[in-house]
Structure 1
Amino acid sequence: MTVQDETAQSVVLTEAAAGKVKALLEQEGRDDLQLRIAVQPGGCSGLRYQLFFDERSLDGDQVQDFAGVNLVVDRMSAPYLLGAKIDFVDTIEQQGFTIDNPNASGSCACGDSFH
């Protein structure tokens, strides 16, 4: 379940991911930061995700609110992220943020980049 209805026009942040982001911001003691996802050239498959806290607002940014967490996508990355879902998993096998992107046709063996 997501905090906001999923649409093919945007990135979705799940409740688990939004909760983890809030917890990390509380640990940092910062309320002026937003979560930014970007797609940059790099990795062995050509493109790489960047997920980080940012205080900047750039021209053309798309901002969505998920339970009080602002998720920001720059205009160059937006087409690569249409319909993508950011989740947070915490299991014995895996812990961290995951990105399920229907636009990624494949990834490298190490899972660090996609095309």
Structure 2
Amino acid sequence: MIKMTNNAVNAVKHAISTSAQPASGLRITVEAGGCAGFKYMMGLADEPKPDDTVIEHDGVKLFVDNNSHEQLAGTTVDFVVALEGSGFTFENPNSRSSCSCGKSFG
């Protein structure tokens, strides 16, 4: 199961409410690339794809494809505001290594 902090839920709700395109949730996938081997990809989505698992947190739907779901199992998604910049972070127990930006893992 993928978890979301309250900050992450609120950030997604805000993004959905201000989106110019229709959106009902957030799609999270894992793709090859990044400086550590795999990278997290995120974006608003209107509906799930046929191979997506749908996870709901406090009214926010996450759409995760079956290939990414295994790599994201147990991950906590947060949204942090810091002097260096704001954004989503991932605490992924399946990663053996990660890059300093926190957007990719190995």
TM-score normalised according to structure 2 size: 0.87
- Residue 71 (structure 1) aligns with: 62
Larger radius of gyration: 1
1:62 CA displacement: 1.0
- Residue 40 (structure 1) aligns with: 31
Identity %: 37
Residue 17 and residue 108 in structure 1: after superposition, are their counterparts in 2 closer, same or farther (change >3 A)?
A: closer
Q: Which runs of 5+ in 1 are unaligned?
A: 1-9
Is the partner of 1:107 in helix, strand or coil? coil
Q: Find the aligned partners of 1:32 and 1:87 in 2 and give their Cα distance.
A: 20
1:90 aligned onto 2:59: no
1:54 CA displacement: 1.3
Residue type of the partner of 1:44?
A: C
- Residue 41 (structure 2) aligns with: 50
Q: Which runs of 5+ in 2 are unaligned?
A: none
- Residue 99 (structure 1) aligns with: 90
Report which stretch shifted further, 48-57 or 26-35. 26-35
Is the partner of 1:102 in helix, strand or coil? coil
1:60 CA displacement: 2.6
Q: Find the aligned partners of 1:109 and 1:15 in 2 and give their Cα distance.
A: 24
Is the partner of 2:66 in helix, strand or coil? coil
Residue 65 and residue 57 in structure 1: after superposition, are their counterparts in 2 closer, same or farther (change >3 A)?
A: same
Q: Find the aligned partners of 1:63 and 1:29 in 2 and give their Cα distance.
A: 23
Q: Find the aligned partners of 1:17 and 1:109 in 2 and give their Cα distance.
A: 20
1:107 CA displacement: 1.8
1:13 CA displacement: 1.1
| RMSD after superposition | 1.8
1:58 CA displacement: 1.7
Report which stretch shifted further, 71-80 or 58-67. 58-67
- Count of residues in Structure 1 that have an aligned counterpart in Structure 2: 106
